[in-house]
Amino acid sequence: MSDDAPPPGAVSGETIPAATDPWARLRATTSARIGLGRSGDAMPLGAVLDFQLDHARARDAVHTALDTADLEAALAPRPVVRVRSAAPDRATYLRRPDLGRVLADGITLDAIPGGIDLVFVVGDGLSAGAVQSQAAPLIHACLDRLADLSVAPIVVATQARVALGDPIGAALGARLCAVVLGERPGLSVAESLGIYLTHDPQPGRRDAERNCISNIHARGLSLDRAADTLAWLAREALRRGVTGVHLKENLGQVSLGREDLGKASLEQASLEQTSLGPERLDGEARPALSPAPEP
């Protein structure tokens, strides 16, 4: 075999009909980069351009600002309160994750009635685009399923990290805090949401005390299934008085319908109890699937 010939089963730089391409069927089931082949000693031009485009989308997702006015309109008729973290700008937010976990000086929530069951905190995280396009329908779907609970006005936070929900929930005396956040973008998905649920939110809560529902996007966990999962977790958290690793054992019983079998491998880690994943960045949990939630 010539040194320039592709290995058996590999895809060369030329287009190969799907009928003779052994990777075609596998590529149809995943957004991962598999069976790219090569052109000489390099990847095919199309694969290189696709990579550069996805990388640019991921960078844009991180740096795009959240349009809070548009989001507030989409959340209507629910009342909305806007806050910001102690990170004054995006550059500081990316360099100082700790500032994204505390409220800016002078911000109080005294005007919001306390003693409620649940508060939603919607934060830009590391993908404002995901929040802009999906957070409002997700929140509405969750509220439809949690109509029996008392819910505070929705808090929209900018330059927000996961733990920003802790001082907000504590200030309101909320029994539960659900932080809806744009996840750190990957090369396959740049607009994915995550939900972090914490019982008895207080500053200093650990990652192991939260439950995470991740990979909420068009090709991952659907909005309806994410809302179903959050509703189940919220009621179990109120019943048991815990979240995180102590609220794991039965979540896997949420069943997949036949129509979802094609997505089963992608949804499994999200439907299972993922309080924290195997990888960590800047001290906060990251579920196992890509793209990971914000650090």
Binding-site positions for adenosylcob(III)alamin: 162, 183, 212
Write the CB contacts of 215 (distance below 8 Å, at least 6 apart in sequence): 183, 189, 192, 194, 221, 266, 267, 269, 270, 287, 289, 291
Q: Is the peptide bond before 77 cis (omega within 30 degrees of 0)?
A: yes
Specify burial of residue 179 (Cβ count, 10 A radius: 0-12, 13-18, 19+). Answer: buried
Q: Which residues are annotated as a binding site?
A: 162, 183, 212
Torsion sign (Cα): 87, 282, 124, 199: negative
Paired residues of 123 in beta bridges: 157, 181
Q: What are 102's two structure tokens?
A: 């505390």
| Encoded tokens for 239 | 């019943």
Q: Are 99 and 92 in contact (CB under 8 A)?
A: yes
